[in-house]
């Protein structure tokens, strides 16, 4: 694979054999963020689980102390008082059957996170096949199926991120923007890792944090010392 000039310059500053500690590693990642836009810093965590088994699934959500730096558009499926509560809490889109129809007929996905009250899940289930593959299906484990829609919206807007192990047993999560600087990114990373470690399934055996790699949007991966966060 061919890479651009900036990427090739950045990779010269990274020791591929080294497992960096958080502070030094974040500095290395930031040194690779050379794009003209504010690059996202993302963590890729390989876990010692087998996602094919239901008792080894790792999924949850956590509010990062400094947010993600993204403007998140929240859609809420709710009726009556809960719909009014969602509007007052700052939801970008609120509705029920009308939004389901809009998604079905217009293939509309002008939102980033979907929240639903429990009584609306029967309606939302009709579009589960299109929401699921995009990671937009509300789920109790991530706090997006709830009666407390105001708190859910506040958490999401404040920087709540969802982590979920994929088919290759890796969680991919943003931890902020390059403009945050080292200290804020280290705090966000520590918060994310603490949450993932607490979510360790009882059925998982051996080393839990197999590897941890961080990268900027356009930069190379930097390997971190996963044992620094415990196993």
Q: What is the pLDDT of residue 169?
A: 96
- For CA atoms 124, 128, 130, 134, give the dihedral sign: positive
- Across the chain, mean pLDDT equals 92
pTM: 0.81
Which region holds residue 80: left if phi is over 0, alpha if psi is between -120 and 50, else beta? left
Residues 152, 156: Cα–Cα separation, whole Å: 6
3-class SS at 18? coil
**Residue 114 and residue 191: Cα distance in Å, rounded?**
23
- For 13, residues 6+ apart whose C-beta sits below 8 A from its C-beta are 28, 31, 32
Each residue's pLDDT tens digit, 21-43: 999 999 999 998 888 999 999 99
**pLDDT given for residue 2 in this prediction:** 61
More confident position, 17 or 47:
47
Q: What is the pLDDT of residue 3?
A: 62
Structure-derived torsion over alpha carbons of residues 73, 78, 84, 87, reported in degrees to the nearest 10: 0
Q: Look at residues 35, 55, 72 and name the one whose alpha carbon lies nearest to residue 153.
A: 72
Examine the pLDDT at 230 and tell me if it is beyond 60. no
pLDDT in tens, 74-114: 999 999 999 999 999 999 999 999 999 999 999 999 999 99
pLDDT tens digits for range 108-150: 999 999 999 999 999 999 999 999 999 899 999 889 999 999 9
Confidence label for 4 from pLDDT (cuts 50, 70 and 90): low
Asked if the model's pLDDT at residue 231 lies above 60, the reply is no
71 CB burial (10 A radius; 0-12, 13-18, 19+) = exposed
Query: Within 13 Å, how many C-alpha atoms sit on residue 48's CB side?
Result: 16
Residue listed under structure tokens 């096949």: 129
Look at residues 202, 174, 204 and name the one whose alpha carbon lies nearest to residue 188. Answer: 174
Confidence of residue 8 (pLDDT cuts 50, 70, 90): low
pLDDT band at 212 (very low <50, low <70, confident <90, very high): very high
């Amino acid at each position: 694979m061919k890479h651009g000039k900036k990427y090739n310059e950045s990779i010269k500053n990274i020791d591929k054999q080294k497992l960096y500690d958080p502070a030094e590693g974040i500095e290395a990642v930031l040194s690779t963020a050379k794009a003209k836009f504010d690059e996202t810093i993302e963590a890729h965590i390989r876990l010692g689980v087998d996602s094919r088994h239901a008792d080894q699934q790792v999924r949850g959500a956590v509010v990062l102390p400094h947010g993600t730096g993204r403007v998140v558009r929240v859609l809420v499926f709710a009726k009556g008082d809960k719909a009014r509560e969602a509007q007052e809490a700052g939801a970008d889109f609120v509705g029920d059957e009308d939004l389901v129809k809009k998604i079905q007929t217009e293939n509309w996905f002008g939102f980033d996170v979907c929240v639903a009250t429990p009584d609306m899940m029967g309606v939302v289930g009709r579009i589960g096949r299109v929401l699921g593959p995009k990671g937009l299906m509300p789920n109790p484990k991530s706090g997006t199926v709830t009666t407390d829609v105001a708190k859910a919206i506040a958490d999401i807007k404040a920087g709540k991120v969802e982590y979920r192990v994929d088919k290759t047993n890796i969680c991919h999560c943003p931890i902020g923007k390059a403009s945050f600087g080292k200290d804020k990114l280290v705090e966000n990373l520590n918060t994310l890792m603490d949450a993932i470690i607490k979510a360790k399934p009882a059925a998982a055996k051996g080393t839990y944090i197999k590897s941890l790699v961080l990268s900027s949007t356009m930069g190379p991966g930097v390997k971190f010392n996963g044992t620094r966060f415990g196993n």
